[in-house]
Each structure stands twice: as C-alpha cells, then as structure tokens.
Amino acid sequence: PAPAPAPAPAPVVVVPAPVVEDIDTEAAIEVVEPVPEPEPVVSRVPEAAQALTGTYIGRADGNSISMELTMGADQVLTAVLRVAGRSGTEVHRVSGTYTLTPDGAADFALSDRTDDGVVGYSGTISGASASGIVTVDGRRRGRFSVGK
C-alpha cells in the first residue's frame, strides 16, 4: 500500500498592524447639541366655525329636515341629516368641507352616496340659519332652508 499524502499546511493570515495617528489633545472639542423635534401641529377649529356648529331644522326639497352640523378642524364638516319623507325618516351620516367667509359665515358642501345616487347639499351657513341647494348626481333637485 502507498503511504498517505501529507496534510496541507495551515493557511497563514497576515493582519497589518493598526495605524496610530497622533491625536491633538489640545484641539477644541465641538459639542453637538441634539436638535429638538418640532412640536406637533394641532389643528384647531376657528371660533367662527365653532359658533356655526349646531342643529338646524327646516325644510329640504319639500320634506322636513334636521341637520346636526359639526364644523371641524382643517375645514372638515360632518353632519347627521334626518329627512322625513313619505316612507318615514331617513338618517344619513355625511361629510364634506366648509370655507369661512370674512363676515363669519361659511360656505359648505356635503355629500352622501344613497340608493338614489349621490345626494349633495351645498350652501351657506350664516348666524342661526343655513340655506342652499339639494342635488342628486349633480342635478339640482330642490332647495333647503334651516335654522337653529
């Protein structure tokens, strides 16, 4: 039998010596202050919009209607509409937008997707009353007029 081959030599790893730089111990040390995080922006409801929040009662397209309007921050308007019709009272939770006018009134638009299509209410709230038009799928259907 032939003799077994000799084992391979172990690999040699050469690691260079670390380079030591001269450190200037007399140099000024710059202290970096952490940058504070900005305070979160809190949207507030303008006072004029708060004054217009409330329940308005009247008529829309010949039916009795109650509009519970909530003017929110960032010009967001939410409402609960109760419309009394021939088949009873329908309740709709709707949303939309408003824009305050210089005189403290607000122009607004609300919409709701129903079985009849997209029903919209757009108009102006001024003091204790609101009025405007009712549309279905963009077509004028009638007017509404309500008051606090």
Largest CA distance in the chain: 114
**In which residue are the tokens 């260079």 written?**
16
What digits encode the pLDDT tens for the residues 65-100? 999 999 999 999 999 999 998 889 989 899 999 999
Structure tokens at 26: 């007399």
The rounded average pLDDT for each run of 10 residues, N- to C-terminus, in the chain (148 residues) is: 71 70 64 75 84 95 93 94 89 94 95 89 95 94 95
Answer yes or no: are the C-beta atoms of 71 and 98 closer than 8 Å: yes
CA distance 76 to 78: 7
Backbone angles phi, psi at 73, to 5 degrees: -70, 160
Kindly report whether the global pTM for this prediction surpasses the value 0.85.
no
